[in-house]
A and B are shown apart, each in its own frame.
Chain A
Amino acid sequence: MSQIGSFTLLLALALSGYCFVAGLLALLREGPSSARLSETARRAGIATFAVVFLAALVLVVAAFQNDFSIAYIFHHSNRDLPAPYKFATLWSGQEGSLLFWSLLLAAYGLVLRLRYKTDPRLFAYASVIIAAVQVFFLLLLNFAAHPFAVMQGSLPADGNGLNPLLQYPEMVIHPPMLYLGYVGFTVPFAFALAALVMRYPGEKWIHITRRWTMVTWGFLTCGIFLGAHWAYSVLGWGGYWGWDPVENASLMPWLTGTAFLHSVMMQEKRGMLKTWNMWLIFSTFMLSIFGTFLTRSGVVSSVHAFAQSSIGDWFVAFLALIFAVCVFFYVKNRSHLRSEHKLESLVSRESSFLFNNLLFVVACFTVLWGTLFPVLSEWVQGNKVTVGPPFFNRVNIPVALLLLLLTSVGPLLAWRRTSIESLKRNFLWPAIGAVAVGILLLVLGMKPWKEASYFYSLMTVMLSVLVGLTVISEFVRGGRVIARHTGQNLLASMGYLAHRNTRRYGGYIVHFGVIVIMIGFAGAAFNQDKEQEMGFGDRMTIGSYTLVCQSYTQDDNPNYSSEWAVMNVWKHGKQIGTLYPERRFYKASQQTSTMPRIRSTAAEDLYLVYEGLNQDTGRPIIKAHLNPLVMWIWVGVWIMIAGTLLALVPNSVPVRVPAPVPMHAEPVGAGD
């Protein structure tokens, strides 16, 4: 099995190497022979996918066959591991996850190479760039992190098993989603670099890559929030985001990718920010590679990181090479990136995008800075420091609030110029609504003067309401105009409106999802927790809940043994359910893992953790968290996904008005 795997990896390297070299030569040469060479390169790229897929399949089959002669399978699987987790073995360790990276890149490359007729020359350049990235990962797999390395000495009877924290259903989806996001940014990067290298005329390359970028961004968004949900559901500390370096590594390309999705509109519509966009997508790709480097090099300590290894040097060299190539072609062809238009007014969509991009990039810098500061500190002062949640929260929350403010104002601004009168007219009611909600919260007992976190929470809710109302008003105003002309009802008109410009209205729905998530985050200011040893019939009160320990017991199966408590949950004198917080001991890996149990409502989550047995009394220790509004975060993510999907749907053909009709319609969208 290991020999087949090793052979396929070598073959994949040869094929992608051929795709790169032949593709490059074909682009440098002229004439019919160059077209034939280019076609062979394209086919080699397609074949690369088949061969890498085969390699990944061999590894998965080896996991299912318990082939512990392969060191990777021995370290990350065992006989009693349930089937879905055996499948997840592919991305559970360093070598396998690099193979998975390579597989996804080959899959993206396959789609790109099959769709080459859209613009053969641009696609040929992009294919060569993707092949270059593929060669790097296959070099790593063949010479630095071989997934088919064999065990030395006698064959072990069983494997070490999968990390217990990874034995959770979401862990079967979270890494693929995240990787689809990371790897996917290679495609817009390849197109951007290709457009720069060949001085591609116009903005067509942006139209071509728009869907790629949005799909990639959507995957990364899903991956990040699946990770947050996994952390919340499995790690048992009651939180979903800990500003761990590996979490930060996924957030950084998301931030620059989000900035790119906004600023690229300026290039499409106004021919501006060409240099900025180019560097934004270069940076996003480099941050994706940097994230992979952070996870694997051991340069920063993280609960997520793979084992320390020497492959960090490979990534540093690769990053340096990418940067050098980008700088070289930028310097060579920068005249191609001149802006076509001027900024006519500060009160315009253009300037709102400028500030939006500034804030996203500053947020990204802050995350990068905080992640790397311990390394810098050790280098300068000789001792490491911790840069944890207090730092990131204090620096990033004001930036997030400013971004929310811009999210509310941005859609009300027109391209080129917006009159202050129009802005006032469109902004007045949403602003009144936001202030009214703020006052209502104060009346209901929120005390923003008591703690800064309460103040931020109040501001977040108010700004979120502001954004929500501007989004709704955009739909309603546009819908009314359509309704007036088509005679449809308002709801149908809004549906038609969204279908007519899916990108814009899909974007608004994404914004709506973001504010729902932000309200969920704001709830964290009011979290409560309590820890207590619980004997039979003991009670614990947290918030409006009373927990009664009905019983506690133990269980055993081939994969793990477990201890768990039966906790009756009472509210307002009525039993509303039973929760079973559990603690597992995985036999193969000799590791323990908590399985928190959560009762989730729109208002709050009751989150119970079985912390263990008090050895003296033999009674379990239960920790209860009361986390307000957490469900809003997960609902917000679904709304964001819906918005992204809508934005991917092609626009319907707009109704053509044959002759100008005198009318006094209110402005659609960005106003007058």
Chain B
Amino acid sequence: MPNLWGQGTKVNPGSGCPMSLLKRVFQIGVLMAGVLLFAGAGDDARFNDLGHRLMCACGCRQILLECNHVGCGYSDRMRAELVAAVDRGDNDDLTLQSFVQKYGPTVLAAPTKTGFDRVAWIAPYVALILGLGLVGFIVRAWRSRPLLRPAELPASVQGAELDHFREQARRETEI
């Protein structure tokens, strides 16, 4: 089953809190990381996790554990291989690597975090950081625009100009 909310995704605690709160968040984060590492690491969970990190090699473009073709020439065999690897106690890297060697790099459902593949993971965060920088720059530029000095303001506002300001006030207050 495709899990839109992610498999094995990492938790990112928030930032910008007071010091004590930050410490507490860090402690909880460490605790949760520990729990994530050591809890639920049973064979079924590992099979499920690894099975969702692999694609079926039959060309259906489905996650291995989601391939629903009975008689698919690949998925049953690949699942059996995965079960065997988990039963043998192979670690995740070794298991995934053995699949890559047998079925090619497209068997992995996501790019690895080595070599050029790492760029795939980094680019969205770089885009976010650059975007934040750009927004910061825009905000700064907008805020530093000079205000009209009182002497430059019209002494009184009437007629069409008054209507214009009324319209502006209406738009901005949405009333």
Identify the A interface with B (CB < 8 A): 235-239, 241-242, 244, 268-270, 272, 301-303, 339, 342-344, 346, 351, 354-355, 358, 361-362, 365-366, 369-370, 373, 377, 380-381, 383-391, 393-395, 397-399, 414-416, 448-453, 455-457, 460, 501, 504, 521-522, 524-525, 527-529, 594, 609, 611-613, 621, 623, 625, 627, 654, 668-670
Please give me the 8 A-B residue pairs with the lowest Cβ-Cβ distance, nearest first: A612-B70, A393-B6, A239-B2, A343-B142, A388-B109, A342-B145, A390-B110, A391-B110
| Residue of A whose beta carbon sits closest to that of B172 | A415
Residues of B within 8 A of A456 (CB): 5-6, 9
Minimum CB–CB distance from B61 to chain A (whole Å) comes to 5
B63 touches which of A362, A365, A388 (Cβ 8 Å): A388
20 of the cross-chain contacts (CB-CB < 8 Å) are A237-B2, A239-B2, A242-B62, A301-B61, A343-B139, A358-B134, A366-B124, A377-B117, A381-B115, A383-B104, A385-B111, A388-B61, A388-B109, A393-B3, A398-B12, A449-B36, A455-B32, A524-B4, A527-B1, A611-B70
Q: How far is the CA of A373 from the CA of B106 in the complex (A)?
A: 12
Residues of B within 8 A of A594 (CB): 68
Residues of A within 8 A of B4 (CB): 239, 241, 389, 393, 521, 524
User: Does the CB pair B124–A452 fall under 8 Å?
Assistant: no
B5 touches which of A355, A361, A397 (Cβ 8 Å): A397
User: Does the CB pair B70–A621 fall under 8 Å?
Assistant: yes
Residues of B within 8 A of A450 (CB): 35-36, 39-40
The answer to the question of B151 belonging to the interface, with a C-beta cut-off of 8 Å to chain A, is no
Q: How far is the CA of A55 from the CA of B52 in the complex (A)?
A: 47
**Chain B contact patch, size range:** 35 or more
CB < 8 Å A-B pair total: 204
Residues of A within 8 A of B71 (CB): 612
Q: How far is the CA of A380 from the CA of B36 in the complex (A)?
A: 35
The answer to the question of B149 belonging to the interface, with a C-beta cut-off of 8 Å to chain A, is no
Residues of A within 8 A of B3 (CB): 389, 393, 453, 524-525, 527
Question: Given A302-B61, A389-B109, A390-B52, do A237 and B68 touch, yes or no (CB 8 Å)?
Answer: yes
A-side binding surface: helix, strand, loop or mixed? Answer: mixed
User: Does the CB pair A521–B5 fall under 8 Å?
Assistant: yes
B92-120 toward A: CB 8 Å interface, digit per residue (1/0)? 00000000000011111111000111001
Residues of B within 8 A of A398 (CB): 12
User: Does the CB pair B105–A237 fall under 8 Å?
Assistant: no
Interface residues of B in 1-54 (CB under 8 A from A): 1-12, 31-32, 35-36, 39-40, 52-53
Residues of A within 8 A of B8 (CB): 390, 451-452
Q: How far is the CA of A625 from the CA of B1 in the complex (A)?
A: 8
The answer to the question of B157 belonging to the interface, with a C-beta cut-off of 8 Å to chain A, is no
User: Does the CB pair B124–A354 fall under 8 Å?
Assistant: no
Select the residue from B2, B60, B104, B173 with max chain A CB neighbours within 10 A. B2
